Amino acid sequence: MNNNALHTVEAQIREQAAAYCESNNVPGFVAGVYHAGEQIVVAHGTANVATGAPMREDTGFLFGSVTKVLTTTLVLQQVERGLLDLDTPVVKYLPEFALTEPGAADKILVRHLLSHTNGIDADLFVPDAKGRDALKSYVTALASSCGSLFEPGEQLSYSNGGMIVAGRLLEAVTGMSYPELLKRDVYAPIGMKDSSTSAEQAILRSTAVGHFLDPETMAAKPAGMFMLPDTWGPAGATPIGTVADLLACGRTHLAGGVSPAGTRVLSAASTALMQQVAHDMATPNVPPMGLGWVLYPFGDTTVLAMSGASPGGVSILCVLPEHDLVFTAFGNESGAIMLQDQILQWLLSEHLGVQVPPVVTEVQQDVDLTPYVGTYRSDQLRIDVSIVDGQLEERATYELADESQERIFSEFVGGMTSAPPQRYVPIRPGLFAPAGYPLETFNGYMRLLLVSYHDVRDGQARFRNGGGRLSRRA
């Protein structure tokens, strides 16, 4: 590929980032693109408004849920070494793993943890623990705190709990802590030289902090929390690194498991397995799921993606095997996800010439709304759905279990623990769009804003899916 093409990409990202950050009060943004042997990194703005430290090309940031790709890579390494089997129940390796319903955990296979089909109802469950036994204490606490949403393999619901159990499983079969394993078996062989798993390590180099917009002034203020507790490490709480490190990770998955340095990190078969559809809900708001990767269809092109929220920040990693391209980015205010989406769509349509057909083409007017009315629940979340003025209205209430959960959750989201009611317009039976958005909003990553309802029986839907997460009719 000629250098000129990537110069154009660099100029475009620089321009888009400057315009978006300026108009949406995002303090800083950093992004990288690898394409056909060349790569660029672009940094813009400020890493921390309290200090004025600039966002640099080598500024570190929290990976958030991009970590799930790393955790999956670690599990498949242990499968290759014969220490784990994907189709064996988790309890064989981790006898203490249990949920509040007797026997529910016994049916969960190792594979279900990685494909988000395990049904563990623990989406907001963040027990506060630090250090070597953090994951052990998480698994112990599950048994008395969290149930299941569905039978394993029956549905798909984005699962932090599944990835954390996978992290504990790794500790049990290797005898090493999750951070040690990540450092030895992912960071080192991939060449992620600036990556770490703790604030103590991150402070030794330039690291961005997250920000929230002040509702009064709309100015960005640093988040009061740097990272979630260690209990969420394998789901995305603790890993920190740079754009160059994530590009190296993406390139390893492009190259069939061989790192840019030439080290084999994962077999070609395991790398391919992560990219195959493990479960498909057949609804546009929930893309098909591989192992660790979400498989976004953009026309004929599949984008392997994972985005990651951290307190006041958002990261993304996208790998396009058909086009030998990796895109990764971090913004230190959550609104930057829209910028990441814009850049991804520009890369697809303008840089690569991919035809990106609209996700939603037409809207049905006469959809019966009654099957969807009711109350839906998942871990510490209640959603009341009613009909108002011929539209669905959803009210989300966080029913946080205790003071510790409330403190952690409110710090993670910047203080807002209740959402205003949201109206939805029907696209077709079982699929709804938030009112007031133009339909092209949903063509890219933001198709996650659509809401779907599933498994209608006796005139009532059993499940609601928003943002890839299921809640069950109460």
Q: Return the active site residues.
A: 65
- Token couple for 10: 């660099």
- Tokens representing residue 408 in the block: 């952690």
C-beta neighbour count of 49 within 10 angstroms: 19
3-state secondary structure the chain: CCHHHHHHHHHHHHHHHHHHHHHHCCCEEEEEEEECCEEEEEEEEEEECCCCEECCCCCEEECHHHHHHHHHHHHHHHHHCCCCCCCCEHHHHCCCCCCCCCCCHHHCEHHHHHCCCCCECCCCCCCCCCCCCHHHHHHHHHHHHCCECCCCCCCCCCCHHHHHHHHHHHHHHHCCCHHHHHHHHHHHHHCCCCCECCHHHHCCCCECCCEEECCCCCCEEECCCCCCCHHHHHHCCCCEECHHHHHHHHHHHHCCCECCCCCECCCHHHHHHHCCCCECCCECCECCECCCCEEEEECCEEEEEEEEEECCEEEEEEEEHHHCEEEEEEECCCCHHHHHHHHHHHHHHHHCCCCCCCCCCCCCCCCCCHHHCEEEEECCEEEEEEEECCEEEEEEEECCCCHHHHHHHHHHCCCCCECCCEEEEEEECCEEEECCCCHHHHHCHHHHHCEEEEEEECCEEEEEEECCEEEEEC
The conformational region for residue 110 under phi > 0 = left, psi -120 to 50 = alpha, else beta, is alpha
CA distance 470 to 474: 12
Backbone angles phi, psi at 76, to 5 degrees: -70, -30
From 471, 462, 467, 464, select the one nearest 399 (Cα to Cα). 471
**CA-CA-CA-CA torsion sign (368, 369, 374, 379):** positive
- Stated length of the chain: 474
Task: Count the Cβ atoms, other than its own, within 10 Å of residue 96.
Answer: 13
